[in-house]
A and B are shown apart, each in its own frame.
Chain A
Amino acid sequence: MKFSFFRMLAFAALVILPASFASAQNFRPVLLYDIGGKFDKSFNEAAFRGAEQFARETGIEFRDFEPNSETQYEQALKRFARRRADLIVAVGVGYSVAVRNVAEQFPNVKFTVIDAVIDLPNVQSVTFKENEGSFLVGMIAGLASESGKIGFIGGMDIPLIRRFQVGYEQGANYVRGDLEFIENYVGTTPSAWNDPIKAAEMAKSQYARGVDIIFSAAGPSGLGVINAAKDNGALAIGVDSNQNHVQPGFVLTSMLKRVDLAVQQAMLSAHGGTWAPGHQVLGLPEGGVDYAMDEHNAALISEEMRTQIEAARAKIVSGEIVVADVDGGNDGH
């Protein structure tokens, strides 16, 4: 008896509630985050801010979704593609295969994927020259280090994160010849992005070995590094978003990766009809990467240091300095 009542309830729900989520709005952009979540104070949050900026400028609302596992990437993409989203922006290298599969299945939906390159007629790929931005923060670390030892903590050990590391080391070596580097990676699986405790342990051990500045490229795990910097009275360098405010006075600077600009641009261009597929590379000349200066770190970076950094920036933009990527080239992916 009870069981059939339960089934009737389900049946009623099925009949009464047909999917009717169509909104009056004409342009429907969707933003999908990577593992780590929307408010990670880093990569995903930058994407969120970009979409918010778009919403403020145009008054158009956007939908977003935080998958809690890699298998949800494809489900989320398919779901929004089927509900006729106009543009789906997926941020993170983890989306590469999922976007490829879904974009093939839905040739009429536009996809923008950040940090991965997919060659399909309805996919726009945006990658960054993280090595160039890391070069600048490497210079800052090299100039500011007193102990002559600087550290690097990466999230998941993949070529993308190695790119931060090589740029950082080149920048530091550019200003000083006698530096010692210590580097660690949190892990080899996507859970490495979400392990601030392990990252903090690694940072503490690096500080104990005489390192005085650590650059972390580890998404939410990097927050552990910044907290360890405060606990040890040392310095950290943030990543992706401006993280100077997270522990003011203990964050030397942040390597900005303008995911926000990329997301905002993708949405604006799709709205304005100028969106085009293909591969965009955002480096220092395009304003895609930079270092962060604000009231929280103004006391940590002298005018003299800034002059040197700006001089190097001009040389990178003009092509006089070429910051090598992991494979030695500098093509941005």
Chain B
Amino acid sequence: MSASAKKLPGAVEAIAMPFLNTLIAFLLSGLLIWALGEDPFYALSLLFDGAFGYQEGIGYTFYYATNFIFTGLAVSVAYHAGHFNIGGEGQAMLGGLGLTLAVFWLGDTAPVLSVIIAILGAALFGGAWAFIPAWLQATRGSHIVITTIMFNFIASALLAYLLVGPLQRPGGQMPESSDFPEGAGLMKFDELMSVLGFSFEQSPLNVSFLIALLMALAVWFLLTRTRFGYEMRVAGKNQNAAAFAGVSVPRVTIIALMMSGALAGMMGLNELLGEQLRLIGNFTLGYGFVGIAVAFMGRNHPLGIVLAAILFGVLYQGGAEIAFEITTISSDMIVVVQGLVIIFAGAMPHLMRKPVTAAYARLIGKGAA
């Protein structure tokens, strides 16, 4: 009994544990809200109502989730190859730049073509931005954590330079580009639904959510069903063993990190090509970093990442709803709640392992007896 009971079945492991951790985070948040003199149950109801209570809210929830799917997958692909890409922020900025350039280049003459080129441009620029740190890691051993985070600053400075210089909206004061040409944008979800004969309230949700799901599927396929995915995972587990088995570790490193950068770069599809329809200086808003939490909360499995991304979407959208409705809970408080979820569900995933294992063992024991 001892050996088998220590190991939890997959379903308990994958669903019950994150659920319990999230529950603890919510309980603590509730206590905090209570300490502020507000009703935690009212706040919780606002959170759910804001996230799922009406169609526009649902739209926003999945709109935010789309960003997190892209950045979460980006972190996870690099992680499987044994690398910690924290440059998602910068890669997303460059991806946004790539798609913007494509849209301004072709948008006036061929809007549909420009959108296709823009999707490729976002991935290409994001991947290219990851190439230099990847190459340095692969050939020089420069640590990827240091180089990618430094590349975030370079990306941010580059974007700021372009947006107060050549790309700035004529006559504008803010660091943002002109509007994208008419028709050069991704289809909104409400438009898609009306084409299919349903009605859905207007919201920023757009087809890049479907692209994100497709990417999650592609990452799953890559990791589990292709030779390269296998090489990646081997290299991630043990570089020496991989090299001994004939895997070119530098090649795997560079390609995996570029794929990671491309996924991060595609975040701009949702934010810029889907909703803002212009390039904004800091449109990434730390989503690249949230991707780290999402990837770990999702146990680096594409399906887990999609679920974790949706949870963060709920927190962002429902959190905004709380900030709208309860004036004593400021937006900083929402950040605290998100932080608690990250700590419990992302950083301390094994907190509840012992009690859950014990409870499960007792349950099984009773069933057997």
| Chain A interfacial positions (CB closer than 8 Å to B) | 2-3, 6, 9-10, 13-14, 16-19, 21, 64-72, 75-76, 79, 82, 93-94, 96-97, 116, 157-160, 188-191
- Bound together, the chains give a CA A14 to CA B276 distance in angstroms of 29
Whether A13 and B19, one on each chain, are in contact in the complex, defined by CB atoms closer than 8 angstroms, is no
| B192 within 8 Å of A (CB atoms) | no
Q: Which residue of chain A lies nearest to B57 when distances are taken between CB atoms in the complex?
A: A19
Distance to closest chain B CB from A154 (angstroms): 12
- If the complex has contacts A71-B283, A97-B278, are A17 and B324 also in contact, measured as CB distance less than 8 A? no
Q: Please name all residues of chain B whose beta carbon is closer than 8 Å to the beta carbon of A189 when the two chains form the complex.
A: 160, 175, 281-282
* 18 sample A-B contacts, Cβ–Cβ < 8 Å, listed by A number: A2-B16, A2-B19, A3-B19, A6-B19, A13-B49, A17-B48, A67-B331, A68-B331, A71-B271, A71-B285, A72-B320, A75-B60, A79-B324, A93-B174, A96-B174, A97-B174, A188-B164, A189-B282
> DSSP class of A's interface residues: helix, strand, loop or mixed?
helix
Distance to closest chain B CB from A27 (angstroms): 19
Nearest 5 Cβ contacts at the A-B interface: A13-B48, A158-B173, A68-B331, A188-B164, A17-B49
Distance to closest chain B CB from A12 (angstroms): 9
| B176 within 8 Å of A (CB atoms) | yes
Contact with A along B324-338 (1 / 0, CB 8 A): 110100111001000
Whether A10 and B52, one on each chain, are in contact in the complex, defined by CB atoms closer than 8 angstroms, is yes
Q: Please name all residues of chain A whose beta carbon is closer than 8 Å to the beta carbon of B49 when the two chains form the complex.
A: 13-14, 17, 19
Q: Please name all residues of chain A whose beta carbon is closer than 8 Å to the beta carbon of B281 when the two chains form the complex.
A: 189-190
Contact with A along B255-278 (1 / 0, CB 8 A): 000000000000000010001101
Instruction: Work out how many contacts link A and B, with CB atoms closer than 8 A.
Output: 86
Contact with A along B39-65 (1 / 0, CB 8 A): 000001100110011101000100000
Whether A71 and B280, one on each chain, are in contact in the complex, defined by CB atoms closer than 8 angstroms, is yes
Whether A188 and B53, one on each chain, are in contact in the complex, defined by CB atoms closer than 8 angstroms, is no
| B10 within 8 Å of A (CB atoms) | no
Q: Please name all residues of chain B whose beta carbon is closer than 8 Å to the beta carbon of A69 when the two chains form the complex.
A: 282, 285
Chain B, 272-326, CB within 8 A of any chain A CB: 275-276, 278, 280-283, 285, 320, 323-325
Whether A93 and B175, one on each chain, are in contact in the complex, defined by CB atoms closer than 8 angstroms, is no
- If the complex has contacts A75-B60, A188-B160, A188-B164, are A70 and B173 also in contact, measured as CB distance less than 8 A? no
Distance to closest chain A CB from B284 (angstroms): 10
Q: Please name all residues of chain B whose beta carbon is closer than 8 Å to the beta carbon of A71 when the two chains form the complex.
A: 271, 275-276, 280, 283, 285
| B15 within 8 Å of A (CB atoms) | yes
- Bound together, the chains give a CA A14 to CA B318 distance in angstroms of 13
Q: Please name all residues of chain A whose beta carbon is closer than 8 Å to the beta carbon of B161 when the two chains form the complex.
A: 188
Residue from B19, B56, B282, B323 in contact with A65 in the complex, judged by beta carbons closer than 8 Å? B323
Q: Which residue of chain A lies nearest to B204 when distances are taken between CB atoms in the complex?
A: A75
Whether B320 and A190, one on each chain, are in contact in the complex, defined by CB atoms closer than 8 angstroms, is no
Residue from B271, B276, B325 in contact with A21 in the complex, judged by beta carbons closer than 8 Å? B325
Q: Please name all residues of chain A whose beta carbon is closer than 8 Å to the beta carbon of B53 when the two chains form the complex.
A: 13-14, 17-19
Contact with A along B164-190 (1 / 0, CB 8 A): 100001001111100000000000000
Known contacts A19-B53, A66-B331, A190-B281, then 5 further A-B pairs from the complex at CB < 8 Å, ordered by chain A residue: A14-B48, A65-B324, A69-B282, A76-B324, A79-B324
Whether A66 and B330, one on each chain, are in contact in the complex, defined by CB atoms closer than 8 angstroms, is yes
Residue from B173, B283, B324 in contact with A160 in the complex, judged by beta carbons closer than 8 Å? B173
Whether B15 and A93, one on each chain, are in contact in the complex, defined by CB atoms closer than 8 angstroms, is no
- Bound together, the chains give a CA A189 to CA B153 distance in angstroms of 13
Whether A188 and B175, one on each chain, are in contact in the complex, defined by CB atoms closer than 8 angstroms, is yes
Q: Which residue of chain B lies nearest to A159 when distances are taken between CB atoms in the complex?
A: B173
Distance to closest chain B CB from A138 (angstroms): 22
- Bound together, the chains give a CA A160 to CA B56 distance in angstroms of 35
Q: Please name all residues of chain B whose beta carbon is closer than 8 Å to the beta carbon of A17 when the two chains form the complex.
A: 45, 48-49, 53
- Bound together, the chains give a CA A70 to CA B275 distance in angstroms of 13
Q: Please name all residues of chain A whose beta carbon is closer than 8 Å to the beta carbon of B276 when the two chains form the complex.
A: 71
Q: Please name all residues of chain B whose beta carbon is closer than 8 Å to the beta carbon of A16 when the two chains form the complex.
A: 45
Q: Please name all residues of chain A whose beta carbon is closer than 8 Å to the beta carbon of B173 when the two chains form the complex.
A: 93, 96, 116, 158-160
Q: Which residue of chain A lies nearest to B49 when distances are taken between CB atoms in the complex?
A: A17
Whether A3 and B285, one on each chain, are in contact in the complex, defined by CB atoms closer than 8 angstroms, is no
- Bound together, the chains give a CA A251 to CA B213 distance in angstroms of 57
- If the complex has contacts A17-B53, A79-B324, are A157 and B285 also in contact, measured as CB distance less than 8 A? no
Q: Please name all residues of chain A whose beta carbon is closer than 8 Å to the beta carbon of B56 when the two chains form the complex.
A: 82
Residue from B164, B280, B323, B330 in contact with A70 in the complex, judged by beta carbons closer than 8 Å? B280
Contact with A along B3-17 (1 / 0, CB 8 A): 000000000000110
Q: Please name all residues of chain A whose beta carbon is closer than 8 Å to the beta carbon of B60 when the two chains form the complex.
A: 75
